Amino acid sequence: MKFTHESLPQRVVFDSYAAADHVAAEVERLGARRPMLVSTGTSIELEGAVRHTEVVMHVPVEVAERARSSAASHGVDVLVAVGGGSTTGLAKAVALTTGLPIIAVPTTYAGSEATAVWGLTEGGRKTTGTDPRVLPRVVVYDASLTLSLPVPLSVASGLNAVAHGVDSMWAPRADPINRAFALESIRALNAGLPRVFDHPSDVEGRENLLYGAYLAAVAFASAGSGLHHKVCHVLGGMFNLPHAPTHAVVLPYVTALNEFAAPALAPAFGAPTALEGLLRLANRLDAPRSLRELGLREADLPAAADGVLAAVPGNNPAPVDGARLATLLHDAWEGKDPR
């Protein structure tokens, strides 16, 4: 056994029905006096906070620039992001150029709050990178804030978290430590998603999802972006497809391609194979199954394949060429059984 593992420094506060008190305490702990509350709508109030509500999926550069300008003009000294991945992503875009600390309060299972990964979209192309400045200093998890998340969005967001765990098994910097986090995350999410699907107001079930989403994101932050995420970033950036549902659709196809390299995945899903367990979960949750239903046109597939081919990780377990990518994407577009 030989590997190098790096853990990211971050404070995590996990406590349902207590986010407002914890956020105020964390702002004070950081010595901040002028917070910017980045959110499209939240019950959390902060004394003296500047509110910024322009949040757009995939963080267009021009949206990021307006948020940066607002932070500068108001003398902001801490960013409080309350919302899903797009909200956290916007706060990261501001932190990237300003170095302002972030307190993240997730209301979905996106996992962006636990990574130093940022993403910006310009001219139909999504660019991602890593920078320690964008890692939130504090994450406040409060499952009660996810109760208003509709079941279909909870499913898509939860499967996005599953994708973080699965892709971490073969990503460029995969190691035994982040694989252990990933497998525990999959077990938690596999148990929690059906529970929330059946009983949306079950706070304990949603706590399970937040816990699993956090572990998956920590694994992903360490392991890096594997083939699955490269596919989804291209599709999101080029065609503005919805982030979490795209992950839900694409994941079985990449899993079918790569799972031979990660035999521990099947037991985490409680199934003979990881693909069988993943499809069983997706069917149980009535998850989206095709890129076509998300709005992608068949005519867009060749451009998507070219974009993904340029980003395929060199250490992907299965060899990937243009023909194989074209088949994978067409199958995902049509919703065919993964092969």
129: helix, coil or strand? Answer: strand
Q: Is the pLDDT of residue 310 over 80?
A: yes
Share of the chain above pLDDT 70, in %: 100
Q: What is the pLDDT of residue 128?
A: 87
Contacts of 25 (CB under 8 A, 6+ apart): none
Q: What is the pLDDT of residue 47?
A: 84
Going by their DSSP bridges, the two strands 117-122 and 50-52 should be labelled as: unpaired
User: Which of 3-7, 180-184, 209-213 shows the lowest mean pLDDT across its residues?
Assistant: 3-7
Summarize the confidence of residues 143-149 as an average pLDDT.
Answer: 94
Q: What is the pLDDT of residue 159?
A: 93
Q: What is the pLDDT of residue 293?
A: 94
Question: What are residue 12's phi and psi, to 5 degrees?
Answer: -120, 125
Q: Is the pLDDT of residue 237 over 90?
A: no
Contact call for residues 78 and 103 (beta carbons, < 8 A): yes
For the stretch 280-304, pLDDT in tens is 999 999 999 999 999 999 999 999 9
Averaged pLDDT of the chain: 94
Task: Tell me how far apart the alpha carbons of residues 291 and 289 are, in angstroms, rounded to a whole number.
Answer: 7
Cβ neighbours, 10 Å, residue 232 = 26
Output b/e per residue, 93-103; b: 16+ Cβ within 10 A: bbbbebebbbb
Q: Find the angle CA(208)-CA(261)-CA(250) to the nearest 5 degrees.
A: 60
Cβ neighbours, 10 Å, residue 19 = 23
Cα–Cα distances in Å, from 256 out to 90, 182, 268?
Answer: 33, 18, 16
Q: Secondary structure of the chain: what % helix, strand, coil (to 5)?
A: 55, 10, 35
Whole-structure pTM value: 0.89
Cβ neighbours, 10 Å, residue 321 = 9
Contact call for residues 261 and 288 (beta carbons, < 8 A): no
Which one, of 31, 7, 228, lies nearest residue 132 by Cα?
7
- What type of residue sits at position 100? L
Summarize the confidence of residues 227-252 as an average pLDDT.
Answer: 91
Q: What is the pLDDT of residue 58?
A: 87
Going by their DSSP bridges, the two strands 78-83 and 102-106 should be labelled as: parallel
In sign, the C-alpha dihedral spanning 45, 213, 320, 241 is: negative
Question: What are residue 54's phi and psi, to 5 degrees?
Answer: -80, 95
Q: Is the pLDDT of residue 323 over 80?
A: yes
Cα–Cα distances in Å, from 43 out to 30, 83, 145, 245, 295?
Answer: 22, 11, 9, 26, 33
Task: Tell me how far apart the alpha carbons of residues 9 and 19 are, in angstroms, rounded to a whole number.
Answer: 21
Task: Tell me how far apart the alpha carbons of residues 3 and 124 are, in angstroms, rounded to a whole number.
Answer: 37
Which one, of 35, 72, 64, 62, lies nearest residue 51 by Cα?
35
